[in-house]
């Protein structure tokens, strides 16, 4: 087992399943101790049901079975009081936070922008954009004190604008721009801030989106993912959760010590089209 992140403590939001769980397990395999954060209740009408307590427990168990320290923390990243408590719990348990991965996300049924409810707009902004802000806001003072930190925000190829997905597109674009601003604010404190942006990856969120998009593509839901890969991935290869985890690990490592304010697209060439 690699020890690239030995004695490092990483906090990952939205880590109960999908990409967040892949990131958590990858860091643990590389020697890190991990805080697995997620929210245990579902959001009505979301195509992506956020992680359950059972899923959080499963990830925590897998990490502990590797011999790493790990705790699971229930946290709604859109609520400052919950984020503050999550950070306090992490500091209390491990004494520090070296790496923050702002991964928590949500998506709703694809809808023309004029039909999107104000409630769903607000939830999308609050969970992903505000959540990235709040988690960083409460973690950063601890990093500044130690003059060290790595923050990885999670964007998306959706930042270029997706049909029937205006809130998600706006938020992901905002996260990428906010990454630049954060990098400029924190560089003098030896804190790197970067963004990783996935292409089409088979996760619970993607499976929900494929099901919802089947009517637009005119093909069964189980064929939408393959269609997207063949159409949008120049390399013609399936993007896996391991591919994304490798990108996050790189940005969090000392190998990327001079990478700052960068968005790494792990998209098979989607953004080049």
Show which residues are catalytic: 168
What's the token pair of residue 266? 């792990």
**What's the CA gap between 221 and 140, in Å, rounded?**
42
Q: What order of strands is seen across the sheet that includes strand 70-74? A: 70-74, 33-38, 9-13, 99-102, 149-154, 191-198, 263-266
Most distant CA pair in the chain: distance in Å? 54
Across the strands, what pairs with 265? Answer: 197
What's the token pair of residue 67? 């011999």
Containing 205, the helix (H) or strand (E) segment is helix 204-217
What's the half-sphere exposure (Cβ side, CA atoms, 13 Å) at 223?
A: 7
> What angle (nearest 5°) sits at the alpha carbon of residue 244, between those of residues 241 and 248?
135
CB count within 10 Å of CB 101 equals: 28
**Which is it for the CA torsion 26, 29, 30, 35, positive or negative?**
positive
**What's the CA gap between 126 and 70, in Å, rounded?**
27
- The answer to whether 238 and 227 have CB atoms below 8 angstroms apart is no
> What angle (nearest 5°) sits at the alpha carbon of residue 182, between those of residues 205 and 59?
35
């Amino acid at each position: 087992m690699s020890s690239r992140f030995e004695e490092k403590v990483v906090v990952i939001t939205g880590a109960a399943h999908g990409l967040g769980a892949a990131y958590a397990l990858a860091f643990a395999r590389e020697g890190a101790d991990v805080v697995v954060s997620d929210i245990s209740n579902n959001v009505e009408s979301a195509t992506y049901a956020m992680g359950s307590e059972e899923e959080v427990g499963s990830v925590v168990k897998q990490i502990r079975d590797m011999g790493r320290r790990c705790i699971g923390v229930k946290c709604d990243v859109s609520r400052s009081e919950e984020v503050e408590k999550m950070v306090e719990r992490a500091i209390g348990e491990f004494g520090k936070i070296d790496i923050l991965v702002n991964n928590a996300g949500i998506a709703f049924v694809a809808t023309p922008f004029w039909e999107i409810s104000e409630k769903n707009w607000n939830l999308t902004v609050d969970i992903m954009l505000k959540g990235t802000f709040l988690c960083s806001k409460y973690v950063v003072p601890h990093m500044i004190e130690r003059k060290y930190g790595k923050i990885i925000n999670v964007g998306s190829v959706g930042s270029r604008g997706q049909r029937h997905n205006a809130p998600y597109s706006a938020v992901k674009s905002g996260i990428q721009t906010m990454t630049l601003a954060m990098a400029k604010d924190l560089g003098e404190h030896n804190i790197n801030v970067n963004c990783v942006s996935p292409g089409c990856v088979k996760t619970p969120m993607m499976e929900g989106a494929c099901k919802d998009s089947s009517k637009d593509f005119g093909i069964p839901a189980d064929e939408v993912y393959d269609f997207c890969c063949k159409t949008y991935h120049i390399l013609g290869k399936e993007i896996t959760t391991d591919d994304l985890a490798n990108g996050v690990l790189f940005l969090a490592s000392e190998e990327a010590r001079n990478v700052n304010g960068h968005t790494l697209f792990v998209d098979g060439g989607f953004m080049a089209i």
